[in-house]
Each structure stands twice: as C-alpha cells, then as structure tokens.
Structure 1
C-alpha cells in the first residue's frame, strides 16, 4: 500500500511539474514572439524618426515634423524619476547653448497627471525647452521606450543618429561635439 501511494505521488508530481514547465515554455515562447513583433517597430539609428503630435504644457499641439531642418533631442522622462531629474539641468544648459543655432529639446513626459504636474515641475526647475504630454504612453511605445530616461538624437533630415539609455551629463565634450557636428 505504501509503495502504491509513493508511485501515485511520483506520477502526480511529474504531471504537475510537466504542466508547470509547459506553461513556462509556452509563456517564454509567446513573450519572445511578442518581443520580436515589438522590436520590428522600434526605430533604429540611421532610420527616420517616427512622427508624432503631442500637447505641450500650455495645451498647444506640437509635432516632430514641424522641427524638420533642426537637430532634435527627444528625451523620454517623468517627474517622479530621480535619474531624469538629475539630467534636466545639463539638458537645459545644452538647450540654451545651441537653441539659437537650430537645436531643440522635446522632453516627452509619461506622467499620468500630464500638465498638472509637469508644468509646475518645469517652472520650479526653470526649464525652458518643450515638455510634451504622453500620459497614455503612445509615443513611448512608438519609440520602443522601456526605461527612462531614454533619449534619441535626430539630425536635420529627421533621421535618428543616436539612442542613449540612462541619464547623462549633457554638457560633456562628447555630447557638445556631436551637437556641433550635427548643426553644421
């Protein structure tokens, strides 16, 4: 009787374990499939930047295509993100230094409260570049953004020339050199 109980327990455990592993393999297979589908839509360097139109903190609709002929930094961020807040002052300094020469910063916020929280943030930190609202995450998805801050640099022709993940000191000589070169 004891042997039958042990045998039944082993068979049941094997069945449960096999069922569990099957779900894991299927889930992994499906997630890999989803990743491939999403990855196919993520803009790559040297490709045209996908166009979008979002409202700024004053409610005005801004489109990427309206900045053609300018070098653009598209920065995905949120007010609650410490690394995003950390890089904002150097981003503002870069913007002020190069804006009159054809450089723009479009800071796309994922904050669910939109301009109610972003506008006071921009005022408090004295940020003068454009902050755009993407509370539903549509443009974040369009660009394949999975973590913030993520930044794309777009040349005068509207092509992505660099993708940068994580915070940066935007006043460093490498960044300034890249912007100088793109503005020529």
Structure 2
C-alpha cells in the first residue's frame, strides 16, 4: 500500500524556480550531521515551518542576501514498507533491528564514544540501506516564540517540526510541485552584522 505525504520545502528564490522548472529536487551537500542522514528535506504538512526555514536560510547566508524566500509544496508517494516513521512504535522497532548490524561500523569510524547526537544519528541513518528505505520521518522540538508563552510552557507544550528525509527523488509526484509562499527579499527582516571596532595599539 502506498502512503501519500504532503510536504513543504523552504529554500531561496532561484533554487525554488529551478525546482519548479525542472520538476525535480536534488540532494544537497553531504554533511556528517544531517538530522536524518543524507537526502532532500521537507516539513510534513507545515507550510509555516518551511517558511521560517526559508527566511532563516536567506537571512543567515551572506551570498543569498538579495534572494527571495519561497516555500514549495509537493506530494510524495511511498510504499508503506519503505517508509521508516521514527515517530511510531513500529518504526522504532524496525530501527532497533538495523542498529544490531551497525556496532562494528560504529567502532570502525571511531564514533563509539561521540557525544554529538546529530553526527551519531546521521551515521546510523546513512547506513540504513536505500534498497530498503526511501523516506525517514521524525518529529523534533523547535525553539520558538512559544517557549516564552507561560500558559503554553505550563502545559509542557512546545513547537515541533515533522521532518521528512527523502532518499529517492523519484517518489515526488512531478505535477504536484509548486510554489505556495513567496517572500520578496525586501520584505525579509535581515539580521544586522555587527562591525568590529578597530583598536589602535600603536603608542
């Protein structure tokens, strides 16, 4: 049985237009600390979270300072057996079985004693065979304005983002790709970079 996922991808304007034109997402730069391993990242059914990410990207990347921010919506279709949902009991049970095969690789890479959670998780996810799993999903807590809203914190509630890591771009329904939010560059609040004062040490 196939599971349809409505997902949102936040990025900068030029990249967004390229994706819509080519009807294709590309896997980004390889990193050792991706949240769910190497792949194409989306937020599941959360356009606002993707919008926040897109604006953060153009705000904090100097070479994108003149870029707009955009959010793309797409539909993924994945076989239930190839969807690793780490928010579910069955998903964690499946992950446990994979972990039993990883201990030797972990020691070989010198990660047995690492205290970097993201590096460790990324290593495990990357070693799950792409021949078996096409999509990995996990919900993570996100720091936000709501962390300061007392009634919300009193109920031990906080913002979460459902992250989806797509490892097989062929699962994207091409006719579903489209831009659903657009933030022109001049409407995005940029963070001012502080200039360092020069101190004259000559006497």
TM-score scaled by length of structure 2: 0.22
Q: Which has the higher contact order (CA 8 A, sep 6+)?
A: 2
- Which has the higher Rg, Structure 1 or Structure 2? 1
